[in-house]
Amino acid sequence: MVYPIYDGEVPYLTTDQMREVDRAMIEDYRIELIQMMENAGRNLAHLARERFLEGDPRGKQVVVLAGTGGNGGGVLVCARRLYNYGALVMVYVTRPMDEFTPVPHHQYDILNRMGVPINHARALETEIRPDLIVDGIIGYSLKGAPYGEAGDLIRWANASPAPVLSLDAPSGIDTTSGTVFDPAIEATATMTLALPKEGLRTPGISRYVGELYLADISVPTELYAEPALGLRVPPIFAQGDIVRLR
């Protein structure tokens, strides 16, 4: 499937604005985090299938790299769906299950119950040659350069010849300033959520972002128009849940 480049106007959000979107979704509109996470992971799995797995994930090896927060939860949803599509999925996490925040912890538990292989980052074998790597190590909660297990997973992904698909932003990129920390994922493609982030259009950032896609997580257009954001957002997803921005 070819995703045509969207030619309409799309506002970009700072990290603080995206936090406000998340807050309003949950508190004002009662759209819970687990719903948003499911939407994100489903769309990521669809993009992975169509763009990187030739429309058929059966028998393809996919390595999913997950942190403990929202991005980690999103890629765990993606892992579940790709596993159900027939992919050979292996998940590597930065921390033990009991250190995941509640909703990502729920996604982790589902994969455990399904029998999807989940391993700690330290168990990652350097000789693995997957067909695709899915990056959900760190999202907009990034504060400084990734270190420890997160840094190790980023360096491993960058050293692999496999394509890398990042969720929301490549791990190691500040989503407002576009600051590239060391290490940072050099993605083949990035699927960002709701609206793109300011940091993803800074000069020179395309080397890390790769192809940029935008996915629907069902944010009401009325939310964007409220005083805290004051944005006019067109029906970007009228023809599909994923659009390509560049």
Domain contains 71 = yes
Tally of domains within the chain: 1
| Alpha carbons 1 and 58: distance in angstroms, whole number | 17
Chain length of the chain = 246
Q: Does residue 9 fall inside a structural domain?
A: no
What is the rounded radius of gyration, in angstroms, for the C-alpha atoms of the chain? 17
With both helix axes pointing from N to C terminus, report the angle between 70-84 and 33-47 in degrees, rounded to the nearest 10.
50
199 within domain boundaries: yes
CATH classification of the domain holding 95:
3.40.50.10260
Tell me whether residue 159 is in a domain: yes
Q: Is 51 within a domain?
A: yes
Q: Report strand pairing: 189-193 vs 164-167.
A: parallel
pLDDT digit string (tens) for the chain, length 246 residues: 778 899 999 999 999 999 999 999 999 999 999 999 999 999 999 999 999 999 999 999 999 999 999 999 999 999 999 999 999 999 999 999 999 999 999 999 999 999 999 999 999 887 889 999 999 999 887 888 999 999 999 999 999 999 999 999 999 999 999 999 999 999 999 999 999 999 999 999 999 999 999 999 999 999 999 999 999 999 999 999 999 999
Tokens read off for 39? 């939407």
Closest by CA to 73, choosing from 106, 43, 46, is 106
Residues 6+ apart with CB under 8 A from 239: none
Q: Would 141 be classed as within a structural domain? A: yes
In a domain, 3, yes or no: no
Residue 10 within a domain: no
Question: In terms of C-beta distances under 8 Å and separation of at least 24 residues, what long-range contacts does 114-120 make, across chains too?
Answer: 114/80, 114/83, 116/79, 116/80, 116/83, 116/89, 116/91, 117/89, 117/90, 117/91, 118/91, 118/92, 118/93, 119/90, 119/91, 119/92, 119/93, 120/92, 120/93, 120/96, 120/149
Domain extent, residue 73, equals: 15-244
